[in-house]
Amino acid sequence: MNSILIFSILSLSAIGLVAAIVLYFIARKFRVIEDPRIDTVEASLPAANCGGCGFPGCRNFAEAIVKQADKDQTLEGLNCPVGGMDVMKVVAGIMGLEAEEAVPLIAVVRCNGSFANAPSKVKYDGPATCAFAHNLYAGTNGCSYGCLGLGDCVTACDFDAIHMNPETGLPVVNDKCVACGACVKACPRDIIELRAKGKKDRRIYVCCVNKEKGGPARKNCAVACIGCGKCVEVCPYEAITLENNLAYIDYEKCKLCRKCVVVCPTEAIHEINFPPRKEKETAETPAKADGDTPVPAESKPVAKRENAPDETAGN
């Protein structure tokens, strides 16, 4: 009995020893030596793992940075939307390179089909997800291009940067947006777009994605782009194109002159964070008839500016 027990112990020990030796040599043969800079780069990233950089997570992004830096000696095309230029400068320093300036982006909702502009014609009673509703019907207002208002973009955002406005039924992006692109991917109607924040946070864009002709588009939404082309005609920088009955403004060419905003008949072009337009004096000295005395400019009636303080208050 004792001899059987001893033999069993020795046999198991020998098998374990042989297996350990085999595994050791296999591990040595197929070991992967990882660049220590990957850990350093990953530690400098914000660890958001949002995917906005185009990679599944910060670790994969760090690996891509080290690989491209060794191959091309540049970080061109690589950007962390959460950390921005501050983080990319640190990363570039680790790799011994210079970070290229990237245009700050922000998510823009290109739909203005609010309850007022695009009244509901039917009532939706189903799963409260845009993805499901998109495959089911055109939308409560009849626009097959417009926002469905069920908040898939809000659910997808990890930064509390987008919320549904209960008064309009549309999503609103705030300053917390890091341009990770999660809301862009979540929207089944491709309404949300990443655009340049613009100088002084000013931007101009066509707030519509409807590709129908003018009549059908206006039937469902009063502020839809009708493809009239007036904005294309007045743009001095050739920044606006018209395709499939829909105007589009290239933010790289746009100089923010706002001429297109003025001529848009449906107010489909939005201007964000611009100062109020200055009212031009339109009253001119009226033409005098024979024997009439010209009216001096000082005596001309001038329209009171909107929101101007009432100087007669209290008198």
Q: Which of 26-30, 108-112, 208-212, 293-297 has the lowest mean pLDDT?
A: 293-297
- Does position 249 have pLDDT exceeding 70, yes or no? yes
In terms of pLDDT, which residue wins out, 56 or 232? 232
For 30-49, the pLDDT digits (tens) are 877 778 888 898 999 988 88
Tell me the three-class secondary structure of the chain, residue by residue: CHHHHHHHHHHHHHHHHHHHHHHHHHHHHCCCCCCHHHHHHHHHCCCCCCCCCCCCCHHHHHHHHHHHHHHHCCCCCCCCCCCHHHHHHHHHHHHCCCCCCCCCEEEEECCCCCCCCCCCCCCCCCCCCHHHHHHHCCCCCCCCCCCCCCCHHHHHCCCCCEEECCCCCCEEECCCCCCCCHHHHHCCCCCEEEEECCHHHCEEEECCCCCCCHHHHHHHCCCCCCCCCHHHHHCCCCCEEEECCEEEECCCCCCCCCHHHHHCCCCCEEEECCCCCCCCCCCCCCCCCCCCCCCCHHHCCCCCCCCCCCCCCCC
- Residue pLDDT, tens place only, 258-290: 999 999 999 999 999 998 877 653 333 344 334
**Domains assigned to the chain:** 36-95 (1.10.15), 105-272 (3.30.70.20)
Provide the whole-model pTM.
0.71
